[in-house]
Each structure stands twice: as structure tokens, then as C-alpha cells.
């Protein structure tokens, strides 16, 4: 190791701070490279703090210009300074005032944490530990203070000056400068502080809360892009109304501002009354955004707004509790989307994403509990586990308590903890206490990592007329957790009769009347449920609605899966049956390919027929049908294999696509023609669903395009004729994998059209990086030099490099060229933006799942990264954990 190990922080070491900071006054004099920040902190010792306890304030990359205590400059021996912060050696016994002045360099801040500039606009990102890059402070979420912020800047460069709370004062200053003073009445932790200054356009609207408060809503964007904020504004108003009606939670200030910037490490940030967004999650119109982009905007706008209660009013005691706000807020935004759109389709998409990101994380070297026990860099823990699995944990509580019980628990949680910094245990306790429920075993979901696995066996006893369902649960070891205790798992099931109807179910010894579908409580390693008095079932439906984030192993033949695909009353389970049927077939074919058999032997006609039935079922909503006919992606199949074979998976899936396409060609063509819209474009869920089905049909047809020029021309034709980005992108995505002059022509056309639109160009970069064509890596290499690409811009990095690492086939090229390219980019990016570099690194950590050759190459790249001089803590943590056996 070339450098000392950064220390890990442990959850068990939490203790309250020695000092509270109750009131903060900040003054900013903004200049691109020399910004001055004055801070006046009102401080008092915590009860029980020893009289001579030193006061440590965090600070990074700050130049200290002055420090005063109760108005008196501190002498050399009265404080000490390191590159991690400022320590006041012996503060006074009671209340005191500390004043500091520092110099910072926003224009030179490429990490995008703290105060930085994005296209000339000053903005901040303080979560998790960015505030210490602005001023010296107790930068931890349990220190909550009231802020007054004065911003001074050049009026021409920065006509807009914003911070949290209410505008208290503004006015002119000499030398063409001006100022604004903002006051936030709500105490908040430093990570929720925000400041924006720049020359921005604005879309203004208003919202009247249910108790009659008139709230001014503004969305600030680059001049000229105001017209692209209509959908985001609409989503904001719908979020505000929904939180009132579904959760009884109302907005608490007279204004709410959103600012969209183009350079941002994550999606968006919930700073009190001043949300800052990656512009990807604000800007949209028919020509530039896809239906998926619109849906993403709706959910992220809602997510950040919902944080006002679950995050801002009630925040986290320490960063181990991150899921307290994130899991809960993701659950809330998922429910919002489900209420706004199709509930089943929303659930299917959420589960797809959970499996692709969280199950994968849980199965690898970076697995950690929803409430982690230790970290080196907290920024590395904004993970799918904390967010998405955290949301599943909340959802399971909702399932166990019901909507009424859950809302009762929420009201109690808010009442008990409003204005404080709380823990995950506090939340679970509020839910349990409000409902008189016992969630003690359930809480293991917070502490145990790994995806639980269920082995299921069902048996009908014809003599008794009973059905025996045996469920064995287990959870694989994860780093630091070799042995797992059984979990409390809410498991929804049903049994279907020969007509596909739900059989009413009654458990042995139960007085209740029989009910169609049951929620089983799994609590021990091995349980048998005995249902009595029922006819022979035809099919067993499991984990309905995905009631628990678990892996289900059950032996079901194609006939049973096809029957569930056609009849299950639970739409999620219906979709799932198709996914599992296809997965079985693909895994089987992979084994055959490895045994030297051809990839394109005929697949089970029962599956192909079942897809046909879905296509002909007029009762299905198109968005659901589009999900139901989509084959599981290559990564999903890879995750089911002990040793991944990317080439065989690709060949097997390609053959199945072709066979489905060939069998239903006429149906796909009819469907394609029938679902072409004639009216004006609308991003709403229903027309978006019709486009999804139409483009699913086109995607199947493209599987036949290599031998059929007419189909290739149809795809190219859709690209050219498209009046919206959804159709344009769908066609371009298909062309990206195909041969012929149409492909290059379309990419050139796209570039010519959108060259000046950075956000749209992200799509152009991404589609070239995910192409299955053999020259993809060379293409990606070449695009690094494209004028639109920059390592300083996280959206570009994710579009080009992130997309390439998600290209199962080309990233995992057997010669290791994909891995070497990846590691080179990490090393190049780390000094620029360590947060983004670390997040980009995860794919290399999957080495254990590959053959010896690929394993060796992936590990060698991780080694190479680790031995680089001056590695960031962020990248160090991910690389070293990824390499551990």
C-alpha cells in the first residue's frame, strides 16, 4: 500500500457532540476564484460536556483569514489548524460566539462538492460533507441551527441571489454589486444549506395549500430553457397536492425554489426550500425528452419535494441512518408515481431496477445493510441498498400494517420527531407503537445485508383436499456477516384453479372464511402452511406484488408458468411468470451452447404462444403488455449464473428474440401500425404506454432486420419521421446494433440536430456506448475526444463511460480491453471528481462471477488503481473492498 489506510467510522461509536451550534450567520462575497466567507456561530456546550473539552470544527480546502471568539482575535496557541479542520483548544464554559473568515475557490472546485460553479452559476452541494468545504463547522446532521445568509455579488453576472428560507432584505452596493439576505426559520443541519447565484431564467407559478397558504413556486434554469420546465412545474404541484391528500403533509413556507444546473454529482438535492437539480431531471419537452425522461422528472421532483418532511423537518441523527430519509422518501415517490400512473407498471419497473442494481450490490463485495455499520467515505453509501432496498423495507411495513396503520404510524412519527434528528429505530418504533405491533424481528431488515432466498415446495393432497406449502428461508453470507438469522418476511401468494380463478384459501385451524390470496408471515427457517378444503389447484402464484425483496426458487414447468402469464389476478406475478419462463429457457440454452450445441435451436413453443396471447389480449393496458413481452436483459440472466458467459447469454437471447419475432411477425407489424399516434403528443402515462408497446414491437421486428431490408428501412423511417424523442431514441437504439449506412446516417443526423444541446447529446454518447457491435470500444475511445465530451461533467462521464461499463458484451471482452479502458478512466477522473469516480468503479468488483481469465484481468485493474499515487478516499474504499475475497 502506497498510502496510510483512511480510518473507518463505526455506527457503534456515535455520541452526541460536545457543542451545539444554535444560530449561524453567513456572509458570502462571491468572486469566481476568490470568494470570502464569513461565519458567525452561536455555540453552547452540550449538557455534560467537560469544562475544558476542545471544540473541533470540520474544514477542508479552506484558507483561514481570521478567527475571533466573543469578538477577540484568537492567539496562535488558542487554536490549531489541520487539513481536516480547526480546533479551539479551550473554549469558554457557557455560551460563546465564534467568528471565522475563510477564502475559497468556487471556479476551481471540480469535485462539485461545497460551493462551485456550473456554467458560470454559483451553486452548492453540501450533502453529505460538503459544507466543510465552505466554512469551518460541526458538519454532522445532528447539529441543527437557524441560518441567516448574506450574499454579495456582481449584479450583472449574478442578478439572481438565492438561499434557504425567506428573502429578508436586498439592495444595491457600490461597484456594480448587490446583495440579498435570506433567513430560514427552520433549524436544519448544515447538509441542507444551499446558495445559488447567477444569471438564470425562471418559470413562476403558485400553489395554495389545503390550509390556504399561498406558495410562490419558481424553477430557475439557463435563459431560453424556461419553456422546458412546464412538466417539472406540473409535477411539483401534483406532488404538493398528493402529499396533502395521501400523507396529510403540507408545505410550510411561502416560497419554494428549484434551480437546475448542468454539472451535478447526483440526481438532485432537497435543500430546505431551495432544491438544486441536475437539469436532466427538470428539462423536458416533446423533441428532447423521452417518456422515460418525463417519468424520471416526475419522480425526482416529487422525491425532493417529499424530503421537506422526510429529511428536512425530520432529519438523520448520523449518516448511518441515511435510509431513514432516503428509503422512506423513495417509498413515497414510488407511491406517488403509482398513484399518478399505472400501479402495476410502476411496480414492475421499480422491481426491475431493484434487481438490476440492488440485488446485484447485495450479491457482491460491496454488500452492506440498509443501515450500514461502518464506512470510510460516506458519499459511497448513497447506494441502491440504502435507497431502493430501504424503500422495500418501508413498503413491507406498509404491507404488514395496511394503509391506515401505516398512515397512523407516519402521523405518530412526525408528531414525535418533528424538528429533530432521528434514527431508523425511531421510525420502526413509531410504526410499532402507533399500531401496537411487534416489529422486533422485522428490524433485522435494517441490520442484515444480503438478499434472502426462499425455497418453495407445494403439494396437493387429493385425499384430504389440502395443499401444503413449504417455505425454507436462508440468506447468503455477506462481508462481515457470515451467519444470518431468519427474517420476518411478508409473503403474498395465491392458488389458481383450472379456469385461472383465485381459489379461496383457508389455513388449517383458522376460523376466518376463506380468502382469495393470502399474506403469509415467514419468520422461521422452515415453515409449512396447510390450506384446507380446496380443489386441486392448477398453478401457484408467489410473491404477489413483490411483497418482499427476496429471491424465490421454485420448480415450475413451462405449462404452469404459461398459465400464470395468461391468468394470474396479480399483474406483477403475471409479468414475473413470463420473466421466469424466459429465464429458465435462456439458462438452459446457455448450457447447451456451452456443450457445443447451436444457439438457434427451436425454443419451447409454449413460451412463444404465451407471448402471442399477451399480444392478443385486448384487456391489457399497453404499458403492461410492453413489459410483459420484454425478455429479461442479459445482466439479469448473468446474475443467475455461477460463472457468467456473456457470449452465450447474448447468443441465446438473440435467438429467442428472433424466434418470437418470426412467430409473431404479422402481429407485431399490425400492432406497430395500429399504435401509431395521429393526435398531438402528450407525455401522459396512457399515450406513453402505447408508444412503449409500439416500440417493443419495433424492437422485435429489428431482430429480423438483418435479413430484411424493408424492416431496416422501417426503423430508419421511424427515426426520420419521429416528432418526439421517445420514438426517435427507440429507433436510434435499434440502429445502434445494426449494420448498414442507415446507422451512421442517423447518428450523424442526431448530432447535427442536437450538437448544442448538452443534455440531448448525452443520449447520443450513451447509445454508441451500449451498442453490441464489435467496434464499440474503439468508438467510445474516439468519443473521449469529441468536443461535447468532458471529464469535468458527470453527466457526460456517466453517458459515455458509465454506459460502456454496463454493456455486458463489450465491456467484458475476453482480452480485458474493456477493463483496462475503464481503469484508465477512473485514474483520470479521480483527481477531478472522486465521488463520481468511485461510483463509476463498481462493475470491476464483479470479478468473482467470471471465468479465470476475466477474473485475473479485472483484479489486475483493481490492483493497478490501488497502487496509484494519491488516490482519493472514495476510490480507495471501493477498490479495496472490491478486491477483498
Residues annotated as catalytic (active site), given as ranges: 304
Residues 274-303 that bind ligand TRP (CB under 6 A): 303
67-75, 90-98, 260-268, 574-582 -> range binding ligand TRP (CB under 6 A): 260-268
Is 142 one of the binding residues for ligand TRP (CB under 6 A)?
no
Give every CB contact of residue 123 below 8 A, 6+ residues apart in sequence.
Answer: 115, 116, 117, 194, 195, 196, 198, 259, 261, 276
266's contact among ligand TRP, Zn ion, none, with CB below 5 to 8 A by partner kind, is ligand TRP
Which has the closest alpha carbon to 793: 432, 176, 63, 279?
279
CA distance 134 to 115: 6
In terms of C-beta distances under 8 Å and separation of at least 24 residues, what long-range contacts does 714-722 make, across chains too? 715/742, 716/742, 716/745, 716/746, 719/746, 719/749, 720/746, 720/749
3-state secondary structure of 177: strand
In whole angstroms, give the CA distance from residue 799 to residue 813.
20
Nearer to ligand TRP, 421 or 808 (CB): 421
Interface stretch with Zn ion, choices 153-161, 322-330, 447-455, 578-586 (CB under 5 A): 322-330
Tell whether residue 576 is a contact of ligand TRP (CB under 6 A).
Answer: no
Separation CA 276–CA 261 (nearest Å): 7
What span, in angstroms and rounded, lies between the C-alpha atoms of 189 and 164? 12
Q: What is the C-alpha separation between 24 and 98, in angstroms, rounded?
A: 10
Which residue's CB comes closest to ligand TRP? 266
265 or 771: whose CB is closer to ligand TRP?
A: 265
> Given the rule CB under 5 A, which of 326-334, 440-448, 692-700, 858-866 is the region that contacts Zn ion?
326-334
Q: Per CB under 5 A, which region of 112-120, 328-336, 558-566, 877-885 contacts Zn ion?
A: 328-336
Shortest distance, CB of residue 265 to ligand TRP, whole angstroms?
5
- Residue list 70-89, contact with Zn ion (CB under 5 A): none
| C-beta of 366 vs 770, nearer to ligand TRP | 366
Our finding on whether 127 is near ligand TRP (CB under 6 A) is yes
C-alpha cell at 826: 477512473
What would the x/- binding string for ligand TRP be over residues 67 to 86, using CB under 6 A? --------------------
List strand residue ranges (DSSP E) for 409-555, in order. Answer: 421-422, 453-461, 466-474, 489-496, 504-505, 515-516, 518-522, 526-531, 539-541, 551-554
> Which residues are 39's β-sheet partners?
26, 100
Binds 556: which of Zn ion, ligand TRP, none (CB < 5-8 Å by kind) = none
Indicate whether 394 belongs to the interface with ligand TRP (CB under 6 A).
no
State the helix-helix crossing angle for 852-866 and 817-829, rounded to 10 degrees: 20
Kindly write down the DSSP assignment for every residue of 264-327, as one continuous string: -SSSEE--TTEEEEEGGGT---TTT--HHHHHHHHHHHHHHHHTTTBTTTBEESSGGGHHHHHH
Return the number of the residue (322 or 758) whose C-beta is nearest Zn ion: 322
The span of 123-131, 336-344, 553-561, 594-602 binding ligand TRP (CB under 6 A) equals 123-131
Minimum CB separation of residue 379 from ligand TRP in Å reads 5
The least distance separating Zn ion from the CB of residue 472, rounded to whole angstroms, comes to 36
Q: Which residues contact 852 (CB under 8 A, 6 or more apart)?
A: none
Quick one: cell of 655?
435467438
Determine, following the binding rule CB under 6 A, whether residue 125 of this chain makes contact with ligand TRP: yes
Report the residue from 382, 413, 607, 804 that binds ligand TRP according to the rule CB under 6 A. Answer: 382
Is residue 266 part of the contact set for ligand TRP (CB under 6 A)? Answer: yes
The one among 55, 215, 233, 269 contacting ligand TRP by CB under 6 A:
269
Q: Determine, following the binding rule CB under 6 A, whether residue 124 of this chain makes contact with ligand TRP.
A: no
Q: How far is the CB of 657 from ligand TRP (least distance, A)?
A: 36
Contact between 388 and ligand TRP per CB under 6 A = no
Residue 697, binding choice from ligand TRP, Zn ion, none, Cβ under 5 to 8 Å by partner class: none
Dist CA 267 CA 279 (whole Å) = 9
CB of 268 to ligand TRP, least distance (A): 5
The answer to whether residue 326 forms part of the interface with ligand TRP (CB under 6 A) is yes
Task: Name the site residues for Zn ion (rule: CB under 5 A).
Answer: 326, 329
Task: Name the site residues for ligand TRP (rule: CB under 6 A).
Answer: 125, 127-128, 265-266, 268-270, 303-304, 326, 379, 382
Amino acid at each position: 500500500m502506497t498510502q496510510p489506510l483512511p480510518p473507518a467510522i463505526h455506527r457503534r461509536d456515535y455520541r452526541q457532540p460536545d457543542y451545539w451550534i444554535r444560530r449561524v450567520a453567513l456572509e458570502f462575497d462571491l468572486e469566481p476564484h476568490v470568494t470570502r466567507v464569513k461565519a458567525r456561530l452561536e455555540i453552547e456546550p452540550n449538557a455534560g460536556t467537560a469544562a475544558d473539552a476542545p471544540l473541533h470544527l470540520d474544514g477542508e480546502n479552506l484558507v483561514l483569514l481570521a478567527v475571533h471568539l466573543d469578538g477577540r482575535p484568537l492567539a496562535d496557541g488558542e487554536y490549531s489548524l489541520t487539513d481536516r479542520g480547526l480546533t479551539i483548544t479551550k473554549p469558554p464554559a457557557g455560551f460563546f460566539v465564534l467568528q471565522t473568515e475563510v477564502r475559497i475557490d468556487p471556479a476551481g472546485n471540480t469535485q462539485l462538492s461545497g460551493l462551485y460553479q456550473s456554467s458560470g452559476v454559483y451553486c452548492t452541494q453540501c450533502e453529505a460533507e460538503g459544507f466543510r468545504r465552505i466554512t469551518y463547522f460541526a458538519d454532522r446532521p445532528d447539529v441543527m441551527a437557524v441560518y441567516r445568509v448574506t450574499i454579495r455579488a456582481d449584479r450583472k453576472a449574478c442578478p439572481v441571489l438565492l438561499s434557504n428560507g425567506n428573502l429578508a432584505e436586498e439592495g444595491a452596493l457600490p461597484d456594480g454589486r448587490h446583495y440579498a439576505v435570506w433567513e430560514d426559520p427552520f433549524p436544519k443541519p448544515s447538509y441542507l444549506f444551499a446558495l445559488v447565484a447567477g444569471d438564470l431564467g425562471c418559470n413562476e407559478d403558485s400553489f395554495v395549500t389545503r390550509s390556504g397558504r399561498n406558495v410562490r413556486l419558481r424553477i430557475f434554469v439557463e435563459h431560453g430553457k424556461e419553456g422546458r420546465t412546464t412538466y417539472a412545474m406540473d409535477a411539483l404541484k401534483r406532488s404538493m397536492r398528493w402529499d396533502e391528500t395521501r400523507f396529510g403533509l403540507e408545505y410550510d413556507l411561502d416560497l419554494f425554489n428549484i434551480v437546475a444546473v448542468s454539472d451535478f454529482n447526483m440526481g438532485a438535492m432537497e435543500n430546505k426550500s431551495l432544491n438544486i437539480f441536475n437539469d436532466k431531471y427538470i428539462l423536458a419537452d416533446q423533441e428532447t425528452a423521452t417518456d422515460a425522461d418525463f417519468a424520471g422528472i416526475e419522480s425526482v421532483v416529487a422525491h425532493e419535494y417529499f424530503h421537506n418532511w422526510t429529511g428536512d423537518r425530520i432529519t438523520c441523527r448520523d449518516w448511518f441512518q441515511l435510509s431513514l430519509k432516503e428509503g422512506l422518501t423513495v417509498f413515497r415517490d414510488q407511491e406517488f408515481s403509482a398513484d399518478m400512473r399505472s400501479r402495476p407498471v410502476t411496480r414492475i419497473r421499480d422491481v426491475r431496477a431493484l434487481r438490476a442494481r440492488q440485488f446485484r450490490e447485495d450479491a457482491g463485495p460491496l454488500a452492506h445493510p440498509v443501515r450500514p455499520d461502518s464506512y470510510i467515505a460516506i458519499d459511497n453509501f448513497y447506494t441502491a441498498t440504502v435507497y431502493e432496498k430501504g424503500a422495500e423495507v418501508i413498503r413491507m411495513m406498509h404491507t404488514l400494517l395496511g394503509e391506515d396503520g401505516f398512515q397512523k404510524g407516519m402521523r405518530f412519527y412526525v408528531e414525535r420527531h418533528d424538528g429533530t434528528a432521528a434514527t431508523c429505530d425511531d421510525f420502526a418504533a413509531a410504526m410499532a407503537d402507533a399500531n401496537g405491533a411487534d416489529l422486533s424481528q422485522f428490524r433485522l431488515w435494517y441490520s442484515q445485508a444480503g438478499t434472502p432466498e426462499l425455497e418453495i415446495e407445494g403439494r396437493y393432497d387429493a385425499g384430504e383436499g389440502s395443499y401444503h406449502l413449504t417455505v425454507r428461508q436462508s440468506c447468503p453470507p455477506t462481508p462481515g456477516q457470515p451467519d444470518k438469522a431468519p427474517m420476518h418476511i411478508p409473503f403474498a401468494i395465491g392458488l389458481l384453479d383450472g379456469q385461472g380463478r383465485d381459489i379461496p384459501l383457508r389455513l388449517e385451524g383458522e376460523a376466518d372464511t376463506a380468502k382469495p390470496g393470502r399474506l403469509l408471515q415467514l419468520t422461521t427457517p422452515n415453515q409449512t402452511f396447510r390450506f384446507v378444503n380446496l380443489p386441486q389447484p392448477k398453478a401457484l402464484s408467489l410473491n404477489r406484488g413483490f411483497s418482499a425483496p427476496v429471491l424465490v426458487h421454485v420448480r415450475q414447468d413451462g405449462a404452469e408458468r404459461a398459465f400464470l402469464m395468461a391468468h394470474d389476478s396479480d399483474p406483477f406475478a403475471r409479468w414475473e411468470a413470463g420473466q421466469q419462463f424466459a429465464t429458465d429457457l435462456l439458462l438452459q440454452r446457455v448450457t447447451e451452447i456451452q456443450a457445443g450445441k447451436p444457439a438457434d435451436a427451436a425454443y419451447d413453443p409454449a413460451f412463444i404462444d404465451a407471448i402471442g396471447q399477451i399480444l392478443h389480449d385486448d384487456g391489457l393496458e399497453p404499458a403492461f403488455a410492453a413489459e410483459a413481452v420484454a425478455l429479461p436483459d442479459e445482466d439479469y440472466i448473468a446474475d443467475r449464473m455461477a460463472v457468467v458467459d456473456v457470449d452465450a447469454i447474448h447468443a441465446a437471447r438473440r435467438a429467442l428474440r428472433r424466434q418470437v419475432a418470426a412467430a409473431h411477425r404479422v402481429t407485431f407489424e399490425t400492432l406497430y401500425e395500429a399504435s401509431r399516434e395521429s393526435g398531438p403528443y402528450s407525455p401522459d402515462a396512457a399515450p406513453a404506454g402505447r408508444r412503449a408497446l409500439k416500440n417493443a414491437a419495433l424492437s422485435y421486428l429489428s431482430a429480423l432486420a438483418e435479413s430484411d431490408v424493408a424492416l431496416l428501412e422501417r426503423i430508419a423511417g421511424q427515426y426520420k419521421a419521429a416528432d418526439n424523442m421517445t420514438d426517435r431514441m427507440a429507433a436510434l437504439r435499434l440502429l445502434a446494433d445494426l449494420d448498414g449506412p442507415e446507422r451512421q446516417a442517423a447518428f450523424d443526423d442526431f448530432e447535427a440536430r442536437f450538437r448544442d444541446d448538452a443534455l440531448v447529446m448525452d443520449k447520443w454518447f450513451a447509445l454508441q456506448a451500449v451498442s453490441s457491435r464489435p467496434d464499440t470500444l474503439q468508438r467510445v475511445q474516439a468519443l473521449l475526444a469529441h468536443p461535447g465530451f468532458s471529464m469535468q461533467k458527470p453527466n457526460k462521464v456517466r453517458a459515455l463511460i458509465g454506459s460502456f461499463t454496463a454493456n455486458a458484451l463489450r465491456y467484458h471482452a475476453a482480452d480485458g480491453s474493456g477493463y483496462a479502458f475503464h481503469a484508465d478512466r477512473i485514474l483520470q477522473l479521480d483527481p477531478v471528481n472522486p465521488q463520481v469516480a468511485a461510483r463509476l468503479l463498481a462493475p470491476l468488483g464483479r470479478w468473482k462471477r467470471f471465468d479465470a481469465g476475466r477474473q485475473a484481468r479485472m483484479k489486475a485493474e483493481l490492483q493497478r488503481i490501488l497502487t496509484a499515487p494519491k488516490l482519493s478516499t472514495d476510490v480507495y474504499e471501493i477498490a479495496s473492498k472490491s478486491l477483498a475475497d
